[in-house]
Structure 1
Amino acid sequence: MKAVEVITNLHTDDVERAREFFAFLGLSQDGMDQGWVARFVSPTSGASVQVVTRDATAPEDSVMTVKVDDVDEAYAEAQRRGYEIVHPISDEPWGIRRFFVRNPDGHVINVAAHRE
């Protein structure tokens, strides 16, 4: 299993306010917007940031998303190592298979892969 992308998840109370702010920094293209989560992308470099008001299906918000090539393998390994699973592996309606795991410092990490 390998990581293929890492995205920061910043909490916001106002997606539109965050959109305006990050546009000033060159992250002006919408990479994704579901109302409660949005990603702002640089059209030239691909750099991005994601903002979240409140996760739609998980009990806690995550501080980052790590996309992996095999989310089921990552889930099995997290369980094998005894890490706390905050949100069990699930297929979300927006096309992602994911789970949330707490890292040793207490941060909640969203581990995900696009379903094919």
Structure 2
Amino acid sequence: MRVIRILPNLPVADVSAAKGFYTDFLGLSTEAFNLGWVARYTSSDPDVAVQLVSGDATAPEDSVISVQVDDVDGACAEAQRLGYEIVHPLTTEPWGVRRFFVRAPDGNIINVAAHRA
């Protein structure tokens, strides 16, 4: 597995209400996507980004970061082999992402994902 990108997932009560601070004040004016419960905002540099999450649509817990990988199936198998708790099973979501959630030993929930090709 190779990590492609890591994005912070900031918990917010309401994505729409929180948007202004991140777009107007911080200048993250490009809305990469918005599903209502999660939205990603970036600057002209795609490496500068944040995701706002008001509650995951399908997972039982929210994640603190999203880690995009090149082989999500392999990553899930490796997490299971190492004995890590899978919080949300490997799933192809309706919005085009294949992902699972794993609990790190420190308790943080990590969203490990790959976009469908």
TM-score, normalising length: structure 2? 0.96
SS of the equivalent of 1:98 reads strand
Matched, 1:22 2:22: yes
Q: CA deviation at 1:26?
A: 1.2
SS of the equivalent of 2:106 reads coil
Share of identical aligned residues, percent? 60
More displaced 10-residue stretch of structure 1: 11-20 or 74-83: 11-20
SS of the equivalent of 1:20 reads helix
The alignment's C-alpha RMSD in Å is 0.7
Map 1:1-116 onto structure 2 (within 5 A). 1-23=1-23, 24-42=25-43, 44-46=44-46, 47-116=48-117
Opposite residue 61 of structure 2, the aligned amino acid is E
Question: Unaligned 5+ residue runs, structure 2?
Answer: none
Q: How many residues align?
A: 115
TM-score, normalising length: structure 1? 0.97
Opposite residue 89 of structure 1, the aligned amino acid is L
Q: CA deviation at 1:6?
A: 0.5
Could you give the per-residue CA deviations for residues 7-49 of structure 1, whole angstroms, max 9, x where no partner exists? 100100121222100111111110110000001110x222100
What is the rounded CA distance, in whole Å, between the counterparts of 1:91 and 1:18 in structure 2? Answer: 28
SS of the equivalent of 1:105 reads coil
